[in-house]
Structure 1
């Protein structure tokens, strides 16, 4: 693994002290002192994520809503030696729901996740998750949602890994293999944790997450699990800039070898009306990394179902499906035998017809040409 770039950081105490010095020593008013501290540190390349930026006397880190929530969770955790039970589970579920709401990335105050992570939130949530009884389904789902909301960068995913997060999550997913909500929220954590982190990907693969994925895809669970397809895509994407040579190519071959490629083809048979068609197609494209796998996808009926979806997407003017299916078809056409099969099955005529229907959409036309 390539060396990571050193990032300058600062503690909450040091930040607060700098603001105080601006007021006491330089005579700045509080708002000016705060702004000056932020600008000065930013110009020096200091990472201020996770720092509560407030004027002294107008609320500090202890008054921050996310930190208050975290402190309550810490207390409940400290009071419980082993598994949680009874009223504790009710309180923990409510607090975890509050925490995920405060930290979810698309909320206005997205810095909350960094603040919680900087103050031991990921380690705490992992520990709490390990102490929730398997039968406490709602609490586990809430814990997974809170966990996913905190995994926003490499630092947070490293904390997750160091806290035993991969083993905890895979263990719970294995126990809850038939519970749709557990699977949805759990694979959301898998996708978030593996994103941009090669070491977490390896940890998950060492725990045989691929076999778990195959179990779910093989029809043991009813319902569409969007996050499952996201997890496949992330696990097979080389997106860690610290790594010179990623292992994801080998993971894709392993996925195909145990039958995930064929299982994904099966999931495409729901056609254009399936809510998972686009996600499953993207996941399948990530698995199709060599000629042998591309051929196996064709042998499993992948080309037939894709050409049907291409036709239907044109008739229903669904450009998202059109783009995605053409992109996957292009990947499969990397195999010479698949090229011939596409032509023999009338694929060229279908693509020409699709181009005519989306003649005003460059994004679709680009995928058709490719």
Structure 2
């Protein structure tokens, strides 16, 4: 069902009628119009809902930019773009509505037009930064990203990235635009890939090792996320393979090798997980030293109490363990024991424990030898103690059920051990308490050999 909309002119006319025909004061007339249209299911996003006679700061800012378009002044343009960015981004409490108003009133077209006139190699750095920051705050839905696409925004931004490879601040602002524009828009993703953004990413990773350009990683993840519900089949799987093929996966492994001292460690782990989309890539990451690097970081995160690193490293290791060859390498290098050591270090944090359970579950999938080793190392005790201690942690409870199933499904001898730990009552409690645990708990109870697993 299509969303009902209204033009700015029609909205203002309705408010005016409330004042002229019904004798309402301006504030009352405005609120009545808003309430009436909302009850009718009209989408008011992008509509200026100011009291008649009042000015709107977003419209004022856009008017200022239009004036400067005809009478350019780089410093004044930068100030206006900074104002627009502040109005349309966090922490401004009205950021979402301001951004909608701006895009509905031509802000994306205007900003792209002004950006296209900034000399790529010799333009004002102050103006370039302010324009890119403003542009990133305007791209918030498929309408705004579609406008960005039609205005040749991707080409403009890629040009600025190519000409400012040594400037970390410009790179950050540019990749922030890439991330915002690619989010939820398959066409924009495709355009950036056609413009060889992957080659830009690889070159900049090589030039700026461990410089913490967070927005670069955000951009890669946005490009590799299938989040446009308008398309049936996303192309991001192919993009991930291309990223891996040209060497980006290897460059990210280098970031991991720098260890906990690197500001790139957490985003590199998260991004590498997006690239590791098949068995071949997972194996190649291991061959480049990825498993060794992750295991070292897991050790260090436990010793230093770094929860963020522990979580992302376990999550990445789970993805890499999707390759059976990598499972053998992880276990052969003491990975199982390292995970149980880590669980002791973070025994009070269910968010870390759930990641540890996830990787143990993957390591035991289709591997009776690993399941036997995990139980010997203390997987049963880990499950019981965690489920008992954190009954409200629904994702951890679910991951525990999944782990238990993989511990016993091909290892009947493990069933007795786990049942003696008293695991059944905690699985049943999770099943009754958390809707997301129902299927996983049922499967765990069934594979434990319990007849009444459906109860």
Q: Name the TM tier (shorter chain).
A: over 0.9
Shift of 1:282: 0.7
Q: State the partner residue of 1:186.
A: 174
Q: State the partner residue of 1:85.
A: none
Q: Deviations over 1:119-139 (max 9, x none)?
A: 101100011111112222221
Which residue of 26, 33, 36 maps to 2:29?
A: 33
Equivalent pair of 2:211/2:264 in contact (CA under 8 Å): no
Q: State the partner residue of 2:334.
A: 346
How does 1:303-322 map onto structure 2 within 5 Å? 303-322=291-310
How does 1:165-184 map onto structure 2 within 5 Å? 165-184=153-172
Aligned length: 355
Shift of 1:162: 1.1
Which residue of 223, 231, 247 maps to 1:235?
A: 223
Structure exhibiting the larger radius of gyration computed from Cα positions: 2
Which residue of 103, 115, 119 maps to 1:133?
A: 119
Paired with 2:143 and 2:43, the residues of 1 have a C-alpha distance of 12
Shift of 1:221: 6.9
Higher RCO (CA < 8 A, seq sep 6+)? 1
Q: Greater CA deviation, 28-37 or 172-181? A: 28-37
Which residue of 210, 235, 250 maps to 1:262?
A: 250
Paired with 1:175 and 1:15, the residues of 2 have a C-alpha distance of 45
- Structure 2's unaligned 5+ residue stretches are 359-455
- Is 1:49–2:45 an aligned residue pair? yes
Shift of 1:273: 2.2
Paired with 1:39 and 1:29, the residues of 2 have a C-alpha distance of 15
Q: State the partner residue of 2:378.
A: none
Q: State the partner residue of 2:10.
A: 14
Which residue of 345, 352, 356 maps to 1:364?
A: 352
- Is 1:106–2:91 an aligned residue pair? yes
Equivalent pair of 1:180/1:221 in contact (CA under 8 Å): no
Which residue of 90, 108, 127 maps to 1:122?
A: 108
Equivalent pair of 1:151/1:192 in contact (CA under 8 Å): yes
Q: State the partner residue of 1:78.
A: 70
Equivalent pair of 1:196/1:240 in contact (CA under 8 Å): yes
- Structure 1's unaligned 5+ residue stretches are 81-87
Paired with 1:46 and 1:78, the residues of 2 have a C-alpha distance of 36
- Is 1:329–2:317 an aligned residue pair? yes
State the TM-score, normalized to the length of structure 2: 0.76
Shift of 1:310: 0.7
Shift of 1:220: 5.5
Going from structure 1 to structure 2, the CA distance change for 1:128 and 1:222 (only over 3 Å counts) comes to farther
Which residue of 172, 189, 193 maps to 1:205?
A: 193
- Is 1:66–2:58 an aligned residue pair? yes
Q: Greater CA deviation, 153-162 or 41-50? A: 41-50
State the TM-score, normalized to the length of structure 1: 0.93
